[in-house]
């Protein structure tokens, strides 16, 4: 853990590029949500409840994977598997901060309502999108370096 903190303090080029890339992931997430809300959520909700959010989580994971794959393929900076995990964890933290801020300040949800978006046992799938931020870089790297 100390080594990861030291890596972030030194902020090598891969970490800087990864922080900047997170904003692309944010744009993709917002586009994914806009498409969900404008198209298939109104159609699916009366018939199959929250499946629109579950479908949106799946499309989000796929979009993130493709973007991460393209980022790693073109990053032009060497990295290790440990750095991939560190970047994935950093993306999760950045996403949690943004998502919590958005839910509380923009959507006016309570802290409890915000926490409930992580209850996978109640059908919420957001936690899997977050986990994909750590797993996707490792899988994409394996595909790139076959």
4 has a pLDDT exceeding 90 = no
Give the rounded distance of the alpha carbon of 114 from its chain centre: 16
pLDDT at site 12: 83
- Residue pair 103/117 in contact by the 8 Å Cβ criterion: yes
Tell me the average pLDDT across 104-118. 90
Tell which residue, 140, 145, 27, 18, has the closest CA to residue 89.
18
Torsion (CA) 100, 141, 79, 126 in degrees, nearest 10: 10
Tell me the average pLDDT across 95-109. 93
50 has a pLDDT exceeding 80 = no
Domain holding 113, by residue range, is 2-144
Domain count, the chain: 1
Dist CA 127 CA 124 (whole Å): 8
Task: Please give the backbone phi and psi of residue 108, each rounded to the nearest 5 degrees, phi first.
Answer: 60, 40
pLDDT at site 44: 81
| pTM exceeding 0.75 | yes
Tell me the average pLDDT across 121-137. 93
pLDDT at site 3: 57
pLDDT at site 21: 98
Q: How confident is the model at residue 68 (pLDDT cuts 50, 70, 90)?
A: very high
């Amino acid at each position: 853990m100390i080594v990861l903190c030291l890596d972030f303090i030194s902020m090598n080029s891969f970490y800087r590029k990864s922080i900047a890339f997170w904003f692309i992931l944010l744009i993709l997430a917002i586009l994914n949500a806009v498409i969900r809300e404008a198209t298939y959520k109104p159609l699916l909700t009366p018939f199959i409840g929250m499946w629109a959010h579950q479908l949106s989580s799946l499309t989000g994971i796929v979009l993130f994977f493709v973007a991460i794959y393209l980022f790693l393929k073109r990053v032009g900076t060497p990295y290790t598997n440990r750095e991939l995990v560190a970047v994935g964890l950093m993306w999760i933290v950045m996403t949690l901060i943004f998502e919590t801020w958005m839910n509380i300040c923009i959507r006016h949800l309570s802290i409890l309502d915000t926490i409930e978006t992580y209850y996978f046992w109640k059908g919420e799938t957001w936690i899997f999108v977050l986990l994909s931020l750590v797993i996707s870089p490792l899988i994409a790297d394996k595909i790139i370096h076959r």
